[in-house]
Amino acid sequence: MKVEILRFDDFGRGICYVNDKVTFVPFSMPGDVLEIEITKGKKNYNEGKIVKIIKPSKNRVVPSCPYFGVCGGCAYQMLQYDDSILEKQNNVINYFKKNGLLIKPNIIKNDIPYNYRNKITLKIVNKKIGYFKSSSHDIVEINKCLLAENKINEVIKLMPSLNIVNGEVIIRCNYKDEVLIIINTNDKIDISKIKDIKDLKGIILNNKTIYGDNYFIEEVNDIKYNVAYDAFFQVNRLVCGKMFKIAQNFVNVDDIVLDLYSGVGTLGLSAATKARKVVGVEINKNAVDNANLNAKLNNLTNAKFIYSDAGSIKNLELNFNKLIVDPPRAGLSKDTINFIKERLPEEIMYISCDYHTQVRDLKLLDDYEIIDSYVCDLFSYTYHAESIVSLKLKSVR
């Protein structure tokens, strides 16, 4: 059937109406006139797929990636880069507004929007190696990813030599192009070819180090970070550097800062270059050990990191006036919200990779008002947006 796409949803899908029912069409954009096929008909909505582009939107560009339209990774490659970040900014503004929160976020652009990812996860099913297709667990076989750093693309080509039938391979690389390969599989593997990769730092099989080391060193804004193979690190080194500066600017010399969900200490240590004292809380033991080592490595002796669930620190003996939170997509737990409402720090910086859960949490943190916000393009050409919001306790203004 013939449709015209009217706008995007929050997940980068074009929206049109079929017999008055909202219909989501991946890889389409406003202004496209399309022939589509309905792939899923639900009570309140349909999902469709493009059969033919009858008349492309005047803003449509030719996607650079040969897998675009099949692979589930990118949503916006048919947009100019600047249009894609405007779209993300509007998505965030509109979602906040729908929930009664008004923001005018600054955009933090990605100056190099391709070849930025320092980590990818390849799925392997029946010897097919690649990413999941859009809305499915079928594999689209790839031998390069335009979002990944060049070094990772060199490594992807060698993956078939591992002889994995079913499993997953995570490839990470650091600022010096050193590589960690993390393999999860029950199959018998052959590492003879990948051992020859230049600057291979380590191979980890089912959480055991079978070659080299199980960590490498990252560097952002002149701070060095030990990063264990299973510790979180922002996937976009260039843009996260801008984000860490925002965390640094959030604090002053007399501040005592609590950094919840602190990972290997990136935001906390950036803050510790200025603040009086920083305490971080993180649930991954390796990341906590990294963070404490990183404090020493960078002579930031005013920072320490604690191994704990952020939701279990109600007895924490720290009189902090500033709080940084950077939770995973699920957002803050009820216990963490209660902890914040109990302690009421003067200011909070809430960094989130899912603005939907962030908004849910902000509505609960009603003792605070929003004083600043950013949309940070850490995940260019995907629909994901990093949303940063600074909050001030209403009564101290």
Ligand X SMILES: C[S@@+](CC[C@H](N)C(=O)[O-])C[C@H]1O[C@@H](n2cnc3c(N)ncnc32)[C@H](O)[C@@H]1O
Contacting residues toward ligand X, per CB under 6 A: 232-234, 261-263, 266-267, 281-284, 287, 309-311, 326-328, 353
For ligand X, give the closer residue by CB, 79 or 378: 378
For ligand X, give the closer residue by CB, 354 or 367: 354
Q: Which residues pair with 41 in a beta bridge?
A: 46
Phi, psi of 106 (to 5 degrees): -75, 145
Reduce the DSSP state of residue 274 to 3 states and report it. coil
Nearest to 105 by CA among 396, 326, 288, 359: 359
- Contact partners, residue 98, CB within 8 Å, separation at least 6: none
For ligand X, give the closer residue by CB, 179 or 353: 353
Q: Which residue is nearest to ligand X (CB)?
A: 263
- Please give the single-letter amino acid code of residue 349: M
- Contact partners, residue 141, CB within 8 Å, separation at least 6: 128, 129, 130
For ligand X, give the closer residue by CB, 25 or 351: 351
**Min CB(337)–ligand X separation in Å:** 13
Q: How far lies 314's CA from each of 45, 158, 284, 337, in Å?
A: 43, 48, 19, 11
Q: How far apart are CA 283 and CA 37, in angstroms?
A: 45
For ligand X, give the closer residue by CB, 129 or 246: 246
**Min CB(330)–ligand X separation in Å:** 8
Nearest to 107 by CA among 81, 125, 130: 81
**Min CB(160)–ligand X separation in Å:** 31
Nearest to 350 by CA among 31, 187, 364, 296: 364
For ligand X, give the closer residue by CB, 284 or 380: 284
For ligand X, give the closer residue by CB, 233 or 383: 233
Q: Pairing between strand 119-125 and 167-173?
A: antiparallel
**Min CB(326)–ligand X separation in Å:** 4
For ligand X, give the closer residue by CB, 16 or 264: 264
Q: How far apart are CA 254 and CA 277, in angstroms?
A: 8
**Min CB(83)–ligand X separation in Å:** 27
**Min CB(239)–ligand X separation in Å:** 12
For ligand X, give the closer residue by CB, 216 or 261: 261
For ligand X, give the closer residue by CB, 8 or 261: 261
**Min CB(90)–ligand X separation in Å:** 24
Say if CB 48 and CB 36 are below 8 A apart: yes
Q: How far apart are CA 105 and CA 83, in angstroms?
A: 16
**Min CB(313)–ligand X separation in Å:** 9
Q: Which two tokens stand for residue 277?
A: 């004292």
Q: Give the ranges where the chain is alpha helix by DSSP (H).
A: 81-98, 150-156, 237-249, 266-272, 285-297, 334-343, 355-364
**Min CB(327)–ligand X separation in Å:** 6
Q: How far apart are CA 215 and CA 230, in angstroms?
A: 8
Say if CB 359 and CB 385 are below 8 A apart: no
**Min CB(207)–ligand X separation in Å:** 15
